[in-house]
Chain A
Amino acid sequence: MKFAARHTFVGNPGYRLLPLRFRRLPWDQGRVLVTSMSGDWLIVQRNDFERAVTGQLDPSEPLFADMESRFLISADPERATLAPLLSQYRTRKDYLAEGPRLHIFVVSLRCHHTCAYCQVSRQVIGQTTFDMAESTARHAVDRLFDWPAKTLTIEFQGGEPLLRFDRVRQLTELIEQRNRTEKRTLRFVIASTLHDLTDEQLPFMRDHGFELSTSLDGPEWLHNLNRPRPERDSYRRTVNGIERGRRMLGDDAVSALTTLTRRSLEVPKEIIDEYRKLGFHSISLRPLSPYGFARKTGARHSYTIADFLKFYEAALDHLLQVNREGYFLEETYTRMLLSLLLTPFSHGYVDLRSPTGAGLGAVVYDYDGRVYPSDEARMLAAMGDHSFALGRVDESVETWISSPSMQRILGAGVAEALPTCADCAYVPLCGADPIDHYARQGDSLGHRPTSDFCRKQMRLFDTLLQRWEQGSSVDRDILESWALRATRREGVLEAA
């Protein structure tokens, strides 16, 4: 048997480029990030990259194999296979396969609080006209099962959904009864302040495997400042609710997230320390969006994306420090972005998807029977703009999908097709948000250089990539420990 030397297995000399995008590293202009169609990537010297693009790479260079194995180039087509690239692409986009998995039921707009930043346009406690009627609830359950997804996350929101717990209970029971024949995997989440949890509500939630998602803006003084109640004791009630929820449902069933006000941006460490103090291992640092009462009270309370990004860097620094001290604490959006960079998987969050998650990943059934593709679309409607309403619960799902609203969303909902996004190195990992662009810039396609969404995304990707690439091995391990957990999690949690 004659054995052939290595060089004889190169095959036909030469190579072709595969679809790729690149970006100069902001922290090192001499190197570029190169991404494949599916979001695999490599960092290369820019002059080597130019050689690669102009056909000058030699098959014996390690760079050749590095680019080949990431499907940035392809050599002899008789010997190469692109099956992995297709597989990676499908894996990255697998949230498309089954239709919307997140279904939000707004059972009431009533709420105890008077938060200036409220994005849900709450109503005062006595007004039952802002509660979901029974007929609406029954129609919504029918629509829920018209979707094909094998896993359904049902999230109850408000106002404060506990104020209409009878409706929550009824919806849960209707859904479970119908599911005896449907046999989907169900997940129940309730987004609530957790104030005034009754002894009747908690056992029910435990028996149906509820997850609780609540708002905790930070230490007591900040939380009470952001979330006024007439009694001025929101923090105490929230902490009490968290404790009772944990006792009955288990620690893992209770999660919390922040809403960041201008005051919040001044105290990143204190917010994170508060979460650690209360034993949370996950925090969500959510910047305000231009919806609901936040829009009306804008000037007094708003801040720029640049302000948020400064806060974020400080928060990230402190999170890493907390983790270095041996306490595991991740930030949910950071975790999602890291999982996009470091794993081949898709994520369960509808916020950052292409095609967009609005309508394709999530559906919102409002108290009044109107249906929306996202929370943001509902908030716009509450402000008088119904451009993105899909229809009503007593209409068919097909009607919603073919509605002008959905067409408008899809027309601007594929990031890879949007101007400027199409060439961006991060586009395989990023998403389109036509409703956000419409709300901020008045146009669902958006203008990228002035887009807050774009600015935020690019800066976060850049920051995390830089931290990972240049960080100490301890910090890299911490970032990886957040990302690699992500592949086993799913779902997006919102809170009142």
Chain B
Amino acid sequence: MQPLEAKVHCEQWPESPLLKVAGLAEFAAGSFPTERMLLDLRDTQVRAAGPAICRLPWAGFLTDGPKHAPPDRPWIAVPQGAFKVDIGDVVELRPHTSKMALRYRRGSNNNILFTTERCNSYCLMCSQPPREVNDGWRVSQLCDLIGLIDKDAPSLTVTGGEPTLLGEGLRRIVRRCADALPRTHLHVLSNGRAFGGGIPARMFEGLHPSLTWGIPLYGDHYGLHDYIVQSAGAFSQTVRGLYALEAAKQHIEIRVVLVRPVVERLTELARFIYRNLPFVEHVALMSTEPIGLARAHYDDLWMDPADMAPVLAKAVDFLSKCSIRVSLYNLPLCVLPESLWAYSRKSISDWKQQYLPACEQCVVKERCGGFFAWVTDKWTSQSVEPVRGTSCAKH
């Protein structure tokens, strides 16, 4: 697992900026103001360019140590092995604690815009337990961050907490993305409850050229869904929110975390989605992330993914026949029947992903999404084992 934050050495920084790590290409392209860029002096091409380049009004320098930085200019040195940071990344420096955090990683499969720690649901398996804090300051910071993200970033995920709690702030963020990153797809993870009576969904109509909403639904009746999200009335609000989003011409994905009570009614949920929400464009069936609140509810939630296979096959088959795209997330290939491999995606964010020792011998390791970095034995299927041969000639 790769840390996203580390202690660093730094000097001469007056404030806590967001900085774009830059090399010669960034300088030449001129996409970002020089004053926001951190010139990476560790890079051989940058060093080869000679000392003159340092005279430009960079925000500061990324170096191997204080000796390598130009005198009287702000610099940052990352201790060996502490933290991976490269040209194109965006970092946030907090000089008073000497900490640097990664806010955007060039080339990563999962860059997020973290909007708030607050949430109006309390899901049993929540991987990001909510805190009641006043973090409205994040909106401005995110708008700033968006300005430093590569224009060719393929996608960003807007997450939290619950992004719609920002209200107009969420609209600002989406609008900023539309302006600064028109070619970047934006996926917002939200429970949609606010649109069931509170925020008008139509404020997002026509706002962004490529926007999708990922909204969880855990059951075909309120008794199950409200239990999973620990909030009475949640099902009703989410469902009404889905209709509001559809009326506002939004693109919608339904996300289903495969905890045991949900899996027990998964085929009914798939039927419910088709009958009532046929405009849904994608359904993501996701194995539980064993972190946060999930750990406290193991007995209520855990089901060996290998035991889910028949139900998953039925649900996937049904949704596919109805022309609703479906994907399996966070499930290693060895626990799935081969007929479902085509639906499995490498979904775990690179920085929290790993393979197990058993995977060394596996012939389909490259195709497989592997495991969460924080997986423990009890959160691992009994059926994990390397695949020795497949019936597919291509693999």
A–B direct touch, CB within 8 Å, in complex?
yes
A residues with CB within 8 A of B: 1, 3-6, 9-11, 40, 59, 65-66, 68-70, 75-76, 78-81, 83-84, 87-88, 91, 343-345, 480-481, 484, 487-488
How far, in Å, is B240 (CB) from chain A's closest CB? 5
Determine whether the beta carbon of B230 is less than 8 Å from that of A65: no
Determine whether the beta carbon of A83 is less than 8 Å from that of B243: yes
Determine whether the beta carbon of B268 is less than 8 Å from that of A79: no
Q: Which of B307-333 contact A (CB under 8 A)?
A: 321-323
Determine whether the beta carbon of A6 is less than 8 Å from that of B261: yes
B-chain residues with CB within 8 Å of residue A81 when the two chains form the complex: 222, 235-236, 239-240
Please give me the residue from chain A that is nearest to B244 by CB atom: A83
How far, in Å, is B322 (CB) from chain A's closest CB? 6
Given the contacts A1-B122, A84-B239, A79 and B276 also touching, CB distance less than 8 Å: no
How far, in Å, is A463 (CB) from chain B's closest CB? 22
Determine whether the beta carbon of B233 is less than 8 Å from that of A79: yes
Interface size class of B (residues with CB under 8 A): 35 or more
Determine whether the beta carbon of A344 is less than 8 Å from that of B321: no
Determine whether the beta carbon of B222 is less than 8 Å from that of A79: yes
Interface residue from B124, B223, B230, B235 paired with A10 (Cβ < 8 Å): B223
Q: Any chain A CB within 8 A of the CB of B224?
A: yes
Please give me the residue from chain B that is nearest to A83 by CB atom: B240
- Residue contacts A-B, CB under 8 angstroms, 22 given: A1-B122, A1-B129, A4-B227, A5-B227, A6-B261, A9-B222, A65-B219, A65-B265, A65-B268, A75-B223, A79-B222, A79-B233, A80-B222, A81-B222, A81-B240, A83-B243, A84-B276, A87-B276, A344-B278, A480-B321, A481-B321, A484-B321
Given the contacts A1-B122, A6-B261, A66-B268, A78 and B224 also touching, CB distance less than 8 Å: no
Report the Cα distance A480→B232, complex, angstroms: 37
B residues with CB within 8 A of A: 122, 124, 129, 219-224, 226-227, 230, 232-233, 235-236, 239-240, 243, 261, 265, 268, 271-272, 274-278, 293, 296-297, 321-323
Report the Cα distance A344→B271, complex, angstroms: 11
Determine whether the beta carbon of A344 is less than 8 Å from that of B274: yes
How far, in Å, is B360 (CB) from chain A's closest CB? 39
Determine whether the beta carbon of A68 is less than 8 Å from that of B221: yes
A-chain residues with CB within 8 Å of residue B276 when the two chains form the complex: 84, 87-88, 344
Determine whether the beta carbon of B223 is less than 8 Å from that of A484: no
Report the Cα distance A345→B278, complex, angstroms: 9
Determine whether the beta carbon of B221 is less than 8 Å from that of A3: no
Determine whether the beta carbon of A9 is less than 8 Å from that of B223: yes
How far, in Å, is A60 (CB) from chain B's closest CB? 9
Number of A-B contacts (CB under 8 A): 88
Please give me the residue from chain A that is nearest to B225 by CB atom: A9
Looking at B222, B235, B297, B323, which has the most chain A CB atoms within 10 Å of its CB? B222
Determine whether the beta carbon of A4 is less than 8 Å from that of B230: yes
How far, in Å, is A4 (CB) from chain B's closest CB? 6
Report the Cα distance A78→B236, complex, angstroms: 9
Report the Cα distance A88→B271, complex, angstroms: 13
Interface residue from B220, B243, B323 paired with A87 (Cβ < 8 Å): B243
Please give me the residue from chain B that is nearest to A82 by CB atom: B236
Determine whether the beta carbon of B124 is less than 8 Å from that of A3: yes
B-chain residues with CB within 8 Å of residue A66 when the two chains form the complex: 268
Determine whether the beta carbon of A69 is less than 8 Å from that of B220: yes
Determine whether the beta carbon of A65 is less than 8 Å from that of B223: yes
Determine whether the beta carbon of B226 is less than 8 Å from that of A79: yes
Given the contacts A9-B226, A484-B322, A69 and B221 also touching, CB distance less than 8 Å: yes
Please give me the residue from chain A that is nearest to B129 by CB atom: A1
Given the contacts A40-B275, A484-B323, A3 and B297 also touching, CB distance less than 8 Å: yes
Report the Cα distance A40→B236, complex, angstroms: 19
How far, in Å, is B378 (CB) from chain A's closest CB? 19
Report the Cα distance A404→B115, complex, angstroms: 62
Please give me the residue from chain B that is nearest to A71 by CB atom: B276
Report the Cα distance A40→B297, complex, angstroms: 35
Please give me the residue from chain B that is nearest to A65 by CB atom: B221
B-chain residues with CB within 8 Å of residue A79 when the two chains form the complex: 222, 226, 232-233, 235-236
How far, in Å, is B205 (CB) from chain A's closest CB? 19
B-chain residues with CB within 8 Å of residue A345 when the two chains form the complex: 278
Interface residue from A5, A69, A343 paired with B272 (Cβ < 8 Å): A69
B-chain residues with CB within 8 Å of residue A59 when the two chains form the complex: 223
How far, in Å, is B264 (CB) from chain A's closest CB? 9
